[in-house]
Chain A
Amino acid sequence: MSAVSSGGGVRPTRRAVALTTGLLIVFLLYSLAPTWFLLVASTKNQTDLYSTFGLWFSADHLADNFRAIWDYHDGVFGRWILNSVLYSTIGAAGSTLISLAAGYGLAKYDFRGRGALFGVIVGASLLPSTLLAFPLYLVFADIHLTNTVWAVLIPYFINPFGVYLGKVYADSSVPAELMEAARIDGASETRIFLSVALRLMRTGGITIFMLDFVNIWNNFFLPLFMLNGERSFPVTLGLFSWVQQAQTSRDMNTLVLTGSLLSIIPLAVFMFALQKYWRSGILMGSLK
């Protein structure tokens, strides 16, 4: 009521603006400070890490830390980054294609049991993937697939939530008339999917790919169960192995910190490149 008497009408008072901005800045600092800490800490050597103030720089040892990372076990860290890139790219590409095809099949063809199948897929998409890790390990260990890339790639390929999204996109972006027209022109069903439907579902495909890529990059649980040999680790698991070693030798800590910083970069580049799809991706991902 007093807003009217202050003459501002619908305009918020100056005090309200200050309070709003102030609160936002507080939470902005809360969000950024730990990342800032990581940035600063990666430039320090072991002594400075423990003896100087954590939120500001001391002598610059970033290059030394890079070299230490590079020297560790013949550059295995580079291998971890490469593994993460490969697992994420191949896993997400496979899962996107499989999901789009399955979603398209569910959306565009009427077969017996379709509704029930869709129900099972939605139900499975609600099942947290961590829950399945141990049962998966039991099966993969029995068929001697643990410690191979397939132990992580095959589970990454199968994403019920991706199928759900694929169906949603196929429903909304592939008109039945277009499929019918292509059929009359003599195109086979496979051809229609590959050259008509896939193109129309491109935005959806990129969104699924992006969500999968980020999930796989961040995944720690499945590789922890499935992979044993250091050279097959993704970077998340590699960093964990360093944390375990840091318990006995303290100089691993600089490696852990600088390695963490390095491991963010490829993901940040990826997200930046696809920022156009990001917002819709977040909202879609949240449906899960």
Chain B
Amino acid sequence: MSTLTRPAGAATDAPVRRTFPRRTGRRGAYKGLLFLLPFLIGFLLTYVVPIGYAFSQSLHEKKSSGIGFGPTKTVYAGLANFSAILSDSTFWTGVLRTLLFGAAQITVMLGISLLLALLLDGVAARAVRFFRAGLLIPYVIPGVVSTLIWLFLYSPTASPIVDLADRAGTSVTFFGGLNTYLSLGNLLTWQGIGFNMILISASLQALPRELYEAARLDGAKEWRIAWSIKVPNITGILVLTGMFSLIGRLQLFTEPLFLRYVAPESISTDFTPMLEIFDRAFKTGDYQYAAAESLVLAVVTGILAFVFYRVTNRKMS
């Protein structure tokens, strides 16, 4: 944080430059900070202060002064909230749930995206444009809307899937036990495959042709070339994408929040850490604990990002 406040302070001194107008190098340097000034002020207000404030809040707790309806006051509580979180099994279950679920869902999603990208690599150019446009439609649809669509597709009364299953003489349920995860996973996969396909396509196209031209001349089959040459060469980007997606999954919120409306008994208010924080803050009104949970989640995210960064760096080099 100190690295931030220093340049911001230096930048406010910028008008003083008139005292040494001849030293162009220095003047340039201060001007540079002037360009950063709007961002730095905003950064202070939207990153540094909120994190600091959340930290100070998290060191407090509410105590009601009477029984029941007496006014509550906020008192200093030290690290009590943090030690409570460390042994809060619902919070950690949520963290573990999002990570395990995310790992499985992301693997499937990237697998499909990879398959699609490889398939597109093998069809005529005009067809590529057609398929790519169609497969990208879910990406264009806002996350809230695609969640709403699937909300209806999963609803027992309005869903054409249920309708079709009925006609076929079977029945489908979308929630309860493993089905909850499959339904949520399907929604996230539907949203993500087009985008990731484009990403993988781009790295496939960046591969030098000589890499597989020889194999092709030798008569190797396309699927063989794909599996033994193309895929191993883009594993790096796949791992990287997967890891960053996993960090995103840790913040999973909107989709389960909406799905709760059709399946409140399958998706609890503490289903993911962010749902738990939201519930704690705005339903229970325990800002202090919610602030502490936000910070702990930020630290978990940071650790994950750091570990992934180290792992991928080693892989790349």
Contacts and interface: CB of A to CB of B under 8 A. Distances in A.
Contacts of A286: 195, 199, 241
Interface in A130-162: 130-132, 134-139, 142, 154-155, 157-158, 160
B108 interface: no
B35 A218 contact: no
Interface in A1-46: 1-4, 9-10, 12, 16-17, 20-21, 23-24, 27-28, 30-32, 34-35, 37-38, 41
Interface stretch (A58-66, A67-75, A199-207, A257-265): A257-265
Contact of B254 (A2, A3, A21, A220): A220
Interface stretch (B87-95, B115-123, B172-180): B115-123
B239 interface: no
B284 interface: no
A271 B140 contact: yes
A12 B153 contact: no
Contacts of B42: 98, 154, 157-158
A37 B46 CA distance: 40
What's the dominant secondary structure at chain A's contact region? helix
B159 A54 contact: yes
A257 B152 contact: yes
Interface stretch (B66-74, B76-84, B228-236, B289-297): B289-297
A139 B199 contact: no
Nearest to A240: B144
Contacts of A109: 28-29, 31-33, 35
A49 interface: yes
A154 B135 contact: no
A251 to B, nearest CB: 13
Contacts, number: 254
Interface string B246-283: 01101101100010010000000000001001100100
Contacts of A249: none
Contacts of A104: 35
A130 B276 CA distance: 13
B182 interface: no
A191 to B, nearest CB: 11
| Residue among B32, B116, B194, B202 having the largest count of chain A Cβ atoms under 10 Å | B32
Interface size band for A: 35 or more
A181 interface: no
Interface size range on B against A: 35 or more
Contact of A35 (B32, B138, B287): B138
A39 B158 CA distance: 14
B31 A189 contact: yes
B233 to A, nearest CB: 18
A109 B152 CA distance: 54
A193 B223 CA distance: 52
Given A130-B274, A134-B291, A158 B43 contact: yes
B9 to A, nearest CB: 11
A187 interface: no
A178 interface: no
A4 B218 CA distance: 8
B21 interface: no
Interface in B107-133: 112, 115-116, 119-120, 122-123, 127, 131
A210 interface: no
B57 interface: yes
B131 A138 contact: no
Given A54-B158, A130-B253, A138-B287, A101 B36 contact: yes
28 contacts: A1-B221, A12-B222, A24-B116, A37-B153, A50-B157, A99-B39, A101-B38, A102-B36, A102-B39, A104-B35, A111-B33, A113-B3, A117-B3, A126-B305, A128-B301, A130-B251, A130-B274, A131-B297, A134-B291, A135-B295, A158-B43, A189-B34, A218-B143, A218-B144, A243-B261, A253-B152, A253-B158, A260-B148
